[in-house]
């Protein structure tokens, strides 16, 4: 249970990571890039595939992320960078958590429920964060087939209603649309950064870096296809349809007879999302534990503290999701490329050999 | 620890102090040569006829040297040994093995003429199979080991006996195939069994607590079976089996959750049929656990989950029900659990009456009286049947179903999702004897998936399950 295997990382990259991009991001991209929404997505997938390659390549050194930092910068600076990185990861988890909250309240409840409906999520999050990150590989083994099968199910029910010609002509929104979409999509692409926190928790195998990038591209391709289907169904009205993966399948012809059978897939995907949206925060907790040691109750305490912070934030922004979304994706988006695009390749420049301990 | 001395009177007096019970008999007789002998035996559990024929009669006519070796030659029993310790002799008497003592000798002879009360080998009530062997284990550990030995005619089969229980001194047979078990597991099992400090062991289920890595967990961590064919198949896969005297239920470790979705019959029918029935069991279990919960969650929080026509039917059925959906479902579920419990414990002759009361009075009348709705009864009935598709997990799944229902009634669908998430996380992190409970799904072991909820044909199952880490990997070809 102490190590994650190659397959489990690939499952995360190909099956679980794409699910996190299918709730609010399609709507955000449709708003910025209209029918060109595939292009920013493609750009991010390609960019992150390259980052994934770099991050996995770091695994060759057999050191944890903090170990790498400490090896080059020494203890104090190493700790500072690790703490900064952990804070970023906590920040990165905020939008997915709020996204999950508003998704749950809108999709699973007809009447607006009290906060107590979502409150157990924070208990779940605290429990997740108290577990060592290395034990998650096994969860991904179970979640990946569920995610893949559910996404496939949603797509099967959706493709019949989509007019794929709606995404043509490509490039209609121009460079501005492309860059606008690309910038606002940054908060959803933190997969490379998560891989940094997995360093030292898996044994690098030959060819793992490019294989990982390919798996990520495969997952990205599925997400892009979903985006095309989403826009093919809703076209110009896409901007009004939040929670994409719960919306596209409802026009399936069999639903009038069978009821919302697509809810089976939506519920399964929501479970996968519950694990995925808290993953950056877990990675953040793990990063702090690497830097500051692992006293027995520290993971639990950190898990409870971080969860409580998310809980209180969610209390204050209960009805202001769009404002948070705007703030993160329009104003604070620049924080993300620093940690999710630039940091992993920069880490390749860190000292390769272990420092001699005097 | 006192030992036998040459003084017969002193020896019998000492034994009387150690085993003062009235059903412990001290039978004195004298041989033709005039040597006094005493046979000490526990009356209810000693075969007195055998004792007379095999021990007393030949010895009473014996006239040779009075050494244990020479006297032993005249006792017509293959089970015989000598012992000096009085305490050990007393323990043997209590186990049903008579002890022979005589004047001038400082050791006693233990003779194996225990009276064995056994029922006939019959088909077990659980693990019923239409095709395949029908034999089941019984309460006698010796008979059970013979059933195992008959199926595994190999010198690799090791059966190590241990004694558990301060007062019951229950025999536990630890069975395994040497060379099939990864190093350390047999030792760990024996260590755990050896460390059990308990008064009595009335059934093998007592041992499961001590063999589990998370003893207070809801999750089952030790495999059980009543059938020797399944037991032997598990030994051949690289598991350790435990047979407990007095229990027809054998234990196997390490245990995988998927084992309980497999039945012995799956191996005697075509693989496509076996795969279908396994998937059916999984589906039935999922439906049994989640259907009542989702029904309640949908009624309370999201009516859109029902198809429109069904929604109209349900709306009509629940219109006049005085209880909330969750309370209604909880009540019906509790009635089902009570009926289930009562029908197991009650005398058979009132079984029919209970069925009538359960089905007609509680079901039909409760619906017509407007206490509960028809859909609730149908859903609980469906769930009740579904749970029995995997009978070995019934204790766990019935609790999980109840938890899901309570969660659904309080926070709806997302509560069900999160509870499932908690369960998943708990299950994937549970290991026993270094074997993950959820293998071969988590960690995923591709080759082992061939005999999981899927069942490939026999020719494709060349290797033993990798989850068992058996050093002898191939079992076919």
Minimum Cα–Cα distance from A126: chain B residue: B422
Of B307, B422, B429, which has the smallest distance from its Cβ to A259's Cβ? B307
Q: pLDDT tens digit string along B137-156?
A: 999 999 999 999 999 998 89
B80-83 vs B36-42, strand pairing mode: unpaired
pLDDT of residue B71: 85
Cβ distance of A109 and B412 shorter than 8 Å: yes
pLDDT value at residue A330: 86
- The alpha carbon dihedral of A294, A300, A305, A310 has a sign of positive
**Is residue A252 helix, strand or coil?**
coil
Q: In this structure, what DSSP letter does residue A222 have?
A: H
Q: How confident is the model at residue A173 (pLDDT cuts 50, 70, 90)?
A: confident
Q: What pLDDT was estimated at residue B348?
A: 73
With H, G, I as helix, E, B as strand and everything else as coil, classify residue A4: strand
> Would you call B465 exposed, middle or buried from its count of C-beta atoms within 10 A (0-12, 13-18, 19+)?
buried
| Residues written for chain B | 477
Q: Residues B61-88: pLDDT tens digits?
A: 888 887 888 888 888 888 888 999 999 9
pLDDT, residue B99, reads 93
Q: Helix or strand or coil: residue A70?
A: helix
ipTM of predicted assembly, 2 dp: 0.93
Residue B295, chain A, CB below 8 Å: the answer is: no
In this model, does residue A6 exceed pLDDT 90? yes
Q: Is the pLDDT of residue B371 over 70?
A: yes
CB contact B375 to A (< 8 Å): no
Q: What's the pLDDT tens digit per position in B17-61?
A: 988 888 899 999 998 888 899 999 998 888 888 889 888 998 888
The pLDDT of residue A329: 86
* pLDDT of B230: 93
CB contact under 8 A, A127 and B422: yes
Contact: B305, A259; criterion CB under 8 Å: yes
Higher pLDDT, A350 or A345: A345
Q: Which residues of B touch A139 (CB under 8 A)?
A: 424-425, 428, 442
Instruction: Kindly tell me if the per-residue pLDDT of B421 is higher than 90.
Output: yes
Q: How confident is the model at residue B1 (pLDDT cuts 50, 70, 90)?
A: low
Chain centroid, CA A173 distance in Å: 26
Indicate whether B350 pLDDT > 70.
yes
* pLDDT the model gives residue A113: 67
In chain A, the residue whose alpha carbon lies closest to the alpha carbon of B413 is A108
Phi, psi for A160 (deg, rounded to 5)? -65, -25
Q: By C-alpha distance, which of B286, B284, B294, B262 is closest to B388?
A: B284
Q: Please report the pLDDT score of residue A243 as a whole number.
A: 86
Q: How many Å lie between the alpha carbon of A1 and the closest alpha carbon of chain B? A: 8
Cα–Cα distance, A206 to A265 (Å, whole number): 36
Tokens of A238: 């896409």
Could you report the per-residue pLDDT of B104-113, keeping only the tens digit for each? 888 899 998 8
Q: How would residue A106 be classed by pLDDT, with cut points 50, 70 and 90?
A: confident
- Is the pLDDT at B10 greater than 70? The verdict is yes
Residue B170: closest CA among B91, B265, B225, B223: B91
Q: Percentage of chain B surpassing pLDDT 70? A: 99
pLDDT score recorded for residue A218:
96
Res B372: pLDDT: 86
Instruction: Assess contact for B166 and B180: CB atoms under 8 A.
Output: no
The residue ranking higher by pLDDT, B125 or B282, is B282
Q: Identify the band that residue B249 occupies on the pLDDT scale cut at 50, 70 and 90.
A: very high
Give yes or no for residue B314 having a pLDDT over 90: no
Q: Is the pLDDT of residue A357 over 60?
A: no
Between the alpha carbon of residue B63 and those of residues A164, B74, B80, B102, the distances in Å are 107, 10, 20, 13
The answer to whether B233 and B268 have CB atoms below 8 angstroms apart is no
Say yes or no: B304 contacts chain A, CB-CB below 8 A. Answer: yes
Assess whether pLDDT exceeds 80 at residue B419.
yes
Chain A nearest CA to B293, separation (Å): 13
Nearest alpha carbon to residue B51 among B91, B99, B108 = B99
Question: What pLDDT is recorded for position A117?
Answer: 84
Which of the two residues, A136 and B465, has the higher pLDDT score?
A: B465
For residue A196, how far is the Cα from the chain centroid?
14
pLDDT at A2 over 80: no
> A192, A158, A231, A221: which is closest to A55 by C-alpha?
A192
pLDDT band for position A355 (cuts 50, 70, 90) = low
Closest CA to B439 of B466, B475, B471: B466
Looking at residue B215, its pLDDT comes to: 87
Q: What φ, ψ does residue B29 adopt, rounded to 5°? A: -150, 165
Mean of the pLDDT values across residues A82-92?
95
Domain boundaries along the sequence of chain A: 6-344
- Kindly state the DSSP code that residue A202 receives in the 8-state scheme: B
Name the region of A197 (left: φ>0; alpha: ψ -120 to 50; beta: rest): alpha
**Average pLDDT of A280-298?**
88
Q: Looking at the partner chain, which of A116, A258, A267 has a beta carbon nearest the beta carbon of B411?
A: A116
- What DSSP character marks residue A169? S
Is the confidence at residue A229, as pLDDT, over 70?
yes
Could you write out the three-class secondary structure of chain B?
CCECCCCHHHHHHHHHHHCCCCCEEEEEEECCCCCEEEEEEEHHHECHHHHHHHHHHHHHCCCCCCCHHHHHHHCCCCCEEEECEHHHHHHHHHCCCCEEEECCCCCEEEECCECCCCCCCCCCCCCCCCCCCCCCCCCCHHHHHHHHHHHCCCCCEEEEEEEECCCCCEEEEEEEECCCCCCCHHHHHHHHHHCCCCCCCCCCHHHHHHHCCCCCCCCCCCEEECCHHHHHHHHHCCCEEEEECCCCCEEEECCCHHHHHCCHHHHCCCHHHHHHHHHHHHHHHHHHHHHHHHHHHHHHHCHHHCCHHHHHHHHHHHCCCCCCHHHHHHHHHHHHHHHHHHHHHCCHHHHHHHHHHHHHHHHHHHHHCCCCCHHHHHHHHHHHHHHCCCHHHHHHHHHHHHHHHHHHHHHHHHHHHHHHHHHHHHHHCCEECCEECCCCECCECHHHHHECCCECCHHHCCECCHHHCCCCCECCC
Question: Rounded to an integer, what distance in angstroms lies between the CA atom of residue A269 and that of residue A151?
Answer: 8
Asked if the model's pLDDT at residue A351 lies above 80, the reply is no
A109, A127, A142 ranked by CB distance to B442: nearest:
A142
Distance to chain A for B402, nearest Cα, Å: 18
- Inform me whether the pLDDT recorded for A270 exceeds 90: yes
Q: Report residue B189: phi and psi, to 5°.
A: -60, -50
Note whether A141 contacts B304, CB cutoff 8 Å: no
> So what's the pLDDT on residue A208?
94
Mapping DSSP to helix (H, G, I), strand (E, B) and coil, where does residue A293 land? Answer: coil
Instruction: Please say if the pLDDT value at position A213 is more than 90.
Output: yes
Compute how many other C-beta atoms are within 10 angstroms of the C-beta atom of residue B101. Answer: 23
Q: What's residue B126's pLDDT? A: 76
In sign, the C-alpha dihedral spanning B136, B138, B141, B142 is negative
What is the reported pLDDT for B341? 83
Q: What is the pTM of this model?
A: 0.88
Which chain A residues contact residue B406 at CB under 8 A?
A: none
**Which one has a higher pLDDT value, B434 or A295?**
B434
Nearest CA in chain A to B311: A259
| Higher-scoring residue by pLDDT: B225, B78 | B225
Q: Do A110 and B304 touch (CB under 8 A)?
A: yes
- Supply the pLDDT for residue B96: 87
pLDDT at A294 over 80: no
Between positions 399 and 418 of B, the ones with CB within 8 A of A are 411-418
Query: Residue A65: which pLDDT band, with cuts at 50, 70 and 90?
Result: very high
pLDDT class of A1 with cuts at 50, 70, 90: low
Of all residues in chain A, the one with the smallest CA distance to B444 is A141
Q: What is the mean pLDDT of chain B?
A: 89
């Amino acid at each position: 249970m102490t190590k994650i295997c190659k397959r489990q990382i690939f499952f995360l990259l190909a099956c679980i990571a794409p699910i996190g991009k299918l709730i609010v991001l399609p709507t955000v991209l449709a708003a910025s890039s209209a029918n060109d929404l595939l292009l920013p997505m493609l750009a991010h997938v390609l960019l992150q595939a390259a980052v994934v390659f770099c991050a996995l390549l770091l695994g060759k050194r057999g050191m944890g992320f903090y170990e790498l930092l400490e090896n080059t910068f020494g203890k104090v600076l190493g700790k500072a960078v690790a703490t900064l990185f952990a804070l970023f990861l906590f920040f990165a988890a905020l939008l997915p958590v709020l996204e999950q909250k508003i998704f749950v309240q809108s999709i699973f409840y007809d009447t607006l429920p009290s906060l107590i409906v979502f409150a157990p999520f924070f208990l779940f999050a605290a429990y997740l964060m108290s577990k060592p990150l290395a034990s998650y590989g096994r969860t991904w083994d179970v979640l990946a087939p569920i995610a893949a099968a559910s996404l496939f199910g949603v797509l099967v029910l959706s493709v019949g209603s989509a007019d794929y010609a709606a995404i043509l002509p490509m490039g209609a929104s121009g460079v501005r649309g492309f860059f606008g979409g690309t910038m606002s999509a940054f908060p959803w692409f933190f997969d490379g950064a998560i891989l940094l926190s997995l360093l030292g928790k898996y044994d690098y195998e030959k060819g793992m870096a490019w294989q990982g990038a390919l798996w990520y591209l495969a997952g990205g391709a599925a997400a892009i296809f979903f985006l095309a289907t989403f826009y093919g169904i809703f076209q110009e009205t896409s901007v009004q349809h939040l929670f994409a993966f719960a919306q596209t399948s409802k026009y399936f012809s069999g639903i009038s007879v069978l009821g919302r059978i697509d809810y089976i897939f939506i519920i399964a995907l929501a479970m996968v999302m519950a694990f995925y949206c808290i993953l950056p925060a877990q990675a953040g907790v793990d990063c702090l534990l690497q830097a500051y040691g692992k006293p027995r109750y520290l993971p639990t305490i950190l898990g409870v503290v971080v969860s409580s912070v998310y809980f209180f934030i969610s209390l204050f922004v209960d009805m202001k999701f769009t404002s948070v979304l705007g703030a993160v994706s329009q104003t604070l988006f620049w924080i993300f490329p620093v940690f999710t695009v630039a940091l992993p390749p920069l880490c390749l420049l860190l000292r390769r050999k272990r420092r001699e301990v005097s | 620890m006192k030992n036998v001395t040459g003084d017969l009177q002193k020896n019998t007096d000492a034994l009387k102090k150690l085993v003062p019970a009235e059903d412990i008999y001290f039978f004195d007789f004298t041989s033709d040569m005039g040597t006094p002998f005493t046979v000490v035996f526990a009356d209810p559990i000693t075969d007195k006829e055998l004792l007379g024929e095999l021990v007393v009669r030949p010895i009473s006519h014996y006239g040779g040297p009075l050494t244990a070796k020479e006297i032993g030659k005249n006792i017509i029993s293959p089970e015989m040994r000598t012992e000096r310790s009085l305490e050990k002799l007393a323990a043997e008497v209590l186990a049903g093995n008579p002890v022979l003592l005589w004047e001038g000798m400082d050791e006693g002879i233990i003779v194996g003429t225990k009276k064995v009360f056994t029922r006939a080998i019959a088909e077990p009530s659980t693990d019923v199979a239409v095709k395949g062997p029908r034999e089941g284990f019984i309460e006698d550990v010796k008979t059970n080991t013979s059933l195992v030995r008959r199926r595994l005619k190999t010198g690799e089969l090791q059966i190590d006996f241990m004694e558990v229980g301060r007062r019951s001194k229950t025999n536990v047979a630890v069975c395994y195939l040497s060379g099939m078990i990864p190093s350390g597991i047999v030792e760990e099992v024996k260590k755990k069994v050896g460390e059990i400090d308990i008064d009595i062991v009335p059934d093998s289920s007592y041992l499961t607590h001590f063999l589990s890595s998370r003893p207070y967990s809801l999750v089952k961590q030790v495999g059980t079976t009543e059938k020797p064919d399944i037991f032997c198949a598990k030994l051949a896969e690289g598991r350790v089996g435990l047979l407990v005297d007095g229990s027809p239920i054998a234990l196997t470790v390490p245990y995988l959750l998927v084992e309980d979705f497999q039945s012995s019959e799956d191996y005697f029918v075509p693989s496509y049929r076996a795969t279908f029935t396994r998937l059916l069991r999984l589906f039935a279990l999922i439906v049994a656990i989640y259907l009542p919960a989702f029904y309640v969650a949908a009624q309370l929080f999201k009516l859109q989950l029902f198809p429109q026509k069904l929604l109209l039917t349900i709306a009509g059925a629940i219109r006049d029900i005085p209880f909330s959906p969750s309370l209604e479902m909880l009540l019906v579920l509790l009635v089902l659990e009570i009926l289930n419990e009562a029908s197991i414990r009650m005398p058979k002759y009132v079984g029919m009456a209970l069925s009538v009361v359960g089905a007609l009075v509680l079901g039909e009348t409760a619906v017509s009286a407007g206490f509960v709705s028809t859909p609730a009864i149908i859903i609980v009935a469906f769930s009740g049947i579904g749970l029995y598709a995997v009978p070995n997990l019934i204790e766990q799944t019935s609790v999980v179903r109840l938890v899901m229902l309570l969660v659904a009634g309080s926070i709806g669908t997302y509560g069900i999702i999160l509870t499932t998430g908690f369960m998943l996380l708990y299950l994937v992190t549970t290991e026993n004897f270094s074997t993950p409970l959820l293998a071969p799904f988590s960690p995923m072991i591709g080759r082992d998936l061939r005999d999981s909820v899927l069942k490939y044909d026999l020719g494709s199952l060349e290797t033993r399950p990798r989850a068992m880490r058996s050093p002898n990997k191939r079992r076919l070809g």
